[in-house]
Amino acid sequence: MTRLEGRVTVVTGAARGIGAETARVFREAGATVVTWDVAPGADRLVDVTDAKAVDAAVAATVAEHGGIDILVNNAGILRDAQLVKIKDGEVAGRMEETQFDAVISVNLKGVFLCGRAVAPVMIKRGWGRILNASSVVGLYGNFGQSNYVATKAGVIGLTKVWARELGPKGITVNAVAPGFIATEMVKQMPEHVLRSMVERTPVRRMGEPRDVANAYLFLASDEASFINGAVLSVDGGVVVGT
């Protein structure tokens, strides 16, 4: 019997990158995986910022597969900008409200909506795993990412609250905090930026999406049944500099 045999899993933001790799790894482990994304390539097109769409997707998944055992809240976006950018003593740029709201809506509200919709299904079954995507920047901060860092720190807060609330119901809730991961998007960055990422990582390589997927796999498995409310950094020991 494989590690996740018979477990029904929903992975959000799974059309590419870490989400797509997580879906592959979970399927290899025997899980039935349903992928959600706003982009083509997922099993179901779902906007995680839309409460009605999320509720409908949960209902459809339960109707088709009989329940949901594992939720991987992976969906996320970036809209980077400095809070304010000063040039020659004058404000030359700033993070716009639309940039802030968009990231909060997907990365934080989306986690809330999916968790809220799936939790009752898991409570009825008396078993569940909710796995939330945070980031090392949610622990240490990062230049030019007020919105993204706020969401990833907020996800850690949600994780700890839900671990307390849902633990007595047989549901564990944990977060994974990736460091520099070589997704397709990251690989398109300039070579000098990629070199800097490697130099700042003590193991002297970037992570692969499978490194993060394997962390999710462990936390979803029976081996992690006594881990609840934890934040697992998957970052090669990265130390964020100035």
Residues belonging to the active site: 148
Take residue 56 and report the two structure tokens written for it. 């409908």
What is the rounded distance in angstroms from the CA atom of residue 81 to the CA atom of residue 63? 42
Write out the DSSP string of 142-192: -TTBHHHHHHHHHHHHHHHHHHHHHGGGTEEEEEEEE-SB--HHHHTS-HH
Torsion angle in degrees (nearest 10) through CA of 12, 201, 198, 79: 40
Distances, alpha carbon 159 to alpha carbons 11, 80, 94, 116, in Å: 17, 24, 30, 12
Cβ 178 vs Cβ 132: under 8 Å: no
Helical (H) or strand (E) element with 90: strand 90-94
- Residue 11 corresponds to which tokens in the numbers above? 């992975």
